[in-house]
Amino acid sequence: MERLRRYTACESPTGDARALSVLADVLDEDARRAGFETARERHPTGDHLIWTRPATGADRGRILVLSHYDTVWPAGTLKHMPWTVEGDVIRGPGVYDTKAGLVALLDAVTAIDRHPEIRVLVIADEEVGSPTARELVTAEARAARAVLGMEPPHPGGDLKTARRGSTRARIEVTGVEAHAALDPEGGVNAIDELVDQLVRFRARIAEYPVLVNTGTVSGGGRTNVVAGSAHADLGFRFVDQTSERAVLAELESLEPVRKGATVGTRLLSRRPTWPADGAGAGLLAAITAIAAGIGQTIGGRAADGAADTNTTGALGCPTVDGLGPAGGGAHARTEWVSITGIRERTALLAALLTEL
């Protein structure tokens, strides 16, 4: 509890490099005390932490553990959403997603002395799609025989064995500015073009099982000026890799409706679909058996949300996520984590890192 209190006191919003650095120093120090060698991949928006604990005894191949230390909560949230403990419940920004997972992991590793090589990535920008971490996660996954994700579990504690693909993309339109009253024909309205592009694009992908959310729209400047630029940010959720490829191909093929307009698209972040029929079934079976051996019953199923395990699962690396402690209210002011859940996950992680 004291470790989690310290982590929560270090507010760590995504993109706030100074705040992230404070928590990163605390985490690295605790990791070294747990027997890890620590390193960092440095980025202007926050460093990714890389922890390695060499194998003891026969090395069966590296286990990769994925977590993150950024949160969705802006600095100052603790003033209105303070750390509290009441019975089995701890509340505070980031306690569930996912600082309690870091506590359970470090406590578990401290408790064991026999294990394969353990590599841990603690990502600084997971909450915005890990745009600076994807190459790192990909490279580490290819060197691992199994991946354990420390994101929160399903309600009830079950693990996550597949995830929808999650992509953020931007449609950008450039038009021609002109006086909206004196020379309207001399302009090309970028906002009108963008609206038409959004309508046409949705019609073209209507046959695919994809969720599309137009999250932000921006453009123009004055009502008496034909808008010269506009853009829209879209969020996609995919259920399978085939429709993911098809929809993204349609996005890339957009062409202007109006003469004089230009249309471009770019991906802001992308987490590929982690299919349910991937290589994680055997890993889940092994985890279920190990859990039963310490008196825990646990299952697994697909999840709608996205995380860095999308990347590892899509690569075909045996992956299971949701090994963070039980709780609820992720990204909500009701966020909480169970003290009992932390203890149970610590015990499970210690067993997994010893026996897998």
Per DSSP, the three-state class of 340 is helix
pLDDT tens for 279-315 read 788 999 999 999 999 999 999 999 988 999 999 999 9
| 223 φψ region: left (φ > 0), alpha (ψ -120 to 50), beta (else) | alpha
Per DSSP, the three-state class of 237 is strand
Is residue 226 within 8 Å of 189, Cβ to Cβ? yes
pLDDT tens for 318-346 read 999 999 999 999 999 999 999 999 999 99
Last-in-domain residue among 241, 271, 301: 271
151 and 172 co-located in one domain: no
Do strands 63-68 and 146-149 pair parallel, antiparallel, or not at all (unpaired)? parallel
Q: Among candidates 1, 17, 150, 125, which has minimal Cα distance to 75?
A: 17
- Indicate the Cα dihedral angle 33, 292, 314, 43, nearest 10°: -20
Size (the chain), residues: 356
Q: Among candidates 28, 31, 6, which has minimal Cα distance to 109?
A: 31
0.85 surpassed by pTM: yes
- The total domain count for the chain is 2
Residue 277 has pLDDT above 80, yes or no: no
In the predicted model, what is the mean pLDDT of the chain? 95
Last-in-domain residue among 271, 305, 323: 271
The confidence score (pLDDT) of residue 58 equals: 73
117 and 263 co-located in one domain: no
157 and 9 co-located in one domain: yes
255 and 281 co-located in one domain: no
The confidence score (pLDDT) of residue 57 equals: 77
Is residue 83 within 8 Å of 19, Cβ to Cβ? no
pLDDT tens for 16-34 read 999 999 999 999 999 999 9
155 and 210 co-located in one domain: no
Q: Which of 43-57, 152-166, 187-201, 273-287 has the lowest mean pLDDT?
A: 273-287
Is residue 131 within 8 Å of 269, Cβ to Cβ? yes
Q: Among candidates 289, 251, 243, which has minimal Cα distance to 268?
A: 251
Last-in-domain residue among 271, 291, 312: 271
Domain of residue 172 covers 165-271
pLDDT tens for 76-133 read 999 999 999 999 999 999 999 999 999 999 999 999 999 999 999 999 999 998 999 9
The confidence score (pLDDT) of residue 123 equals: 98
14 and 91 co-located in one domain: yes
Per DSSP, the three-state class of 324 is coil
The confidence score (pLDDT) of residue 280 equals: 82
Q: What pLDDT band is residue 278 in, cutting at 50, 70 and 90? A: low
CA distance 84 to 94: 13
